[in-house]
């Protein structure tokens, strides 16, 4: 007698297995608990918010100085090179003086104009004996004025680079103090209790570093370029004095 045995295919379930799905509300809740920098800023303590406001203001001021100073130094270097080319190609100082007005952003050209005007006064009055001494003082004064203009607002970059990390550290210390205060009142050492205040504290340090690092880099770069321009003014003043001494003898 032949019996029909059920095959392995007949033993399989007809309905596919049902896998549990993550509810949409749970997914939205998990995404809302993600780290949000802006929520950390707005939920922070008033002291931490004040520290962040000071650091942001310092950073904005630094970037404004960086942009304007970069344009100023680039124009000064470019126009100084062009003026020196015109100066050494010309054979008369009055011809150079007529063209010096085209290089208004060149500190070397400004030094030359101050020296030429002093030389013209000395030759017009006939006091050639004191002309060299007066010319030396005029060139030194003009170079000092131009160096002061080049260094204007650069000290703010150094101040930001040196103080911004400490201001951010103050916000960090304040946030950690509040975290320990909440920990003492709550009586439980859970991350839900101290986590937000620690996050507020750390973001103050991060903003301080973001403000300080570009300021220090820009300060060192600008200082090196200003030193080059100061050296060009000193070298030009020495060459100009030598030319005037040869003509006055």
Listing DSSP states for 105-144 in one string gives T-HHHHHHHHHHHHHHHHHHHT--TTHHHHHHHHHHHHHH
**Per-residue confidence (pLDDT) for residue 190, from 0 to 100:** 64
Q: What are phi and psi of 35, to 5 degrees?
A: -65, 120
Ranges 26-30, 102-106, 197-201, most confident:
102-106
Task: Tell me the pLDDT of the chain averaged across its residues.
Answer: 81
- State mean pLDDT over 60-83: 95
199: left (phi over 0), alpha (psi -120 to 50) or beta: alpha
Q: Please report, rounded to a whole number, the percentage of residues in the chain having pLDDT higher than 70.
A: 74
Rounded distance between C-alpha atoms, residue 214 and residue 62, angstroms: 8
Q: What is the rounded end-to-end Cα distance, in angstroms, of the chain? A: 142
Alpha helical stretches, state H, the chain: 24-32, 37-42, 46-89, 93-99, 107-125, 131-150, 154-186, 191-248
Query: CB within 8 A of 246, min separation 6: which ones?
Result: none
The pLDDT assigned to 203 comes to 84
pLDDT of residue 162: 94
Cα separation, 240 vs 142, whole angstroms: 13
pLDDT grade for 31, boundaries at 50, 70 and 90: very low
Closest CA to 57 of 164, 151, 199: 164
Write the pLDDT tens digit of every residue in 214-233.
999 999 999 999 999 999 99
pLDDT of 234 higher than 90: yes
Burial 26-43 (b: 16+ CB within 10 A, else e): eeeeeeeeeeeeeebbee
- Average pLDDT of the residues in 44-56: 84
> Is the predicted pLDDT of residue 165 greater than 80, yes or no?
yes
CA distance 34 to 44: 17
pLDDT of residue 101: 87
Q: Give 75's pLDDT tier (boundaries 50, 70, 90).
A: very high
Residue 2: the pLDDT is 47
The 10s digit of each residue's pLDDT in 123-146 is: 777 666 677 888 899 999 999 999
d(CA 153, CA 70): 12
pTM comes to 0.75
């Amino acid at each position: 007698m032949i019996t029909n045995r059920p095959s392995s295919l007949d033993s399989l379930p007809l309905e596919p297995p049902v896998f549990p799905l993550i509810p949409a509300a749970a997914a939205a809740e998990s995404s809302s608990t993600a780290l949000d920098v802006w929520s950390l800023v707005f939920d922070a303590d008033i002291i931490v918010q004040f520290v962040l406001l000071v650091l942001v203001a310092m950073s904005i001021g630094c970037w404004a100085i960086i942009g304007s100073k970069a344009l100023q130094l680039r124009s000064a270097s470019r126009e100084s090179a062009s003026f020196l080319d015109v100066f050494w190609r010309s054979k008369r100082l009055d011809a150079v003086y007529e063209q010096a007005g085209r290089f208004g952003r060149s500190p070397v050209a400004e030094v030359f104009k101050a020296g030429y005007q002093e030389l013209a006064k000395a030759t017009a009055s006939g006091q050639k004996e004191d002309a060299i001494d007066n010319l030396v003082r005029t060139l030194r004064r003009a170079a000092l004025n131009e160096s002061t203009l080049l260094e204007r607002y650069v000290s703010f970059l150094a101040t930001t680079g040196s103080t911004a990390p400490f201001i951010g550290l103050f916000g960090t210390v304040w946030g950690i103090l509040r975290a320990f205060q909440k920990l003492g009142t709550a009586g439980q050492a859970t991350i839900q209790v101290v986590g937000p205040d620690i996050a507020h504290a750390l973001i103050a340090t991060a903003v301080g570093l973001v403000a300080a690092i570009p300021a220090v880099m820009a300060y060192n770069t600008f200082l090196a370029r200003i030193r080059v321009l100061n050296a060009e003014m000193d070298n030009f003043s020495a060459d100009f004095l030598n030319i005037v001494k040869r003509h006055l003898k």
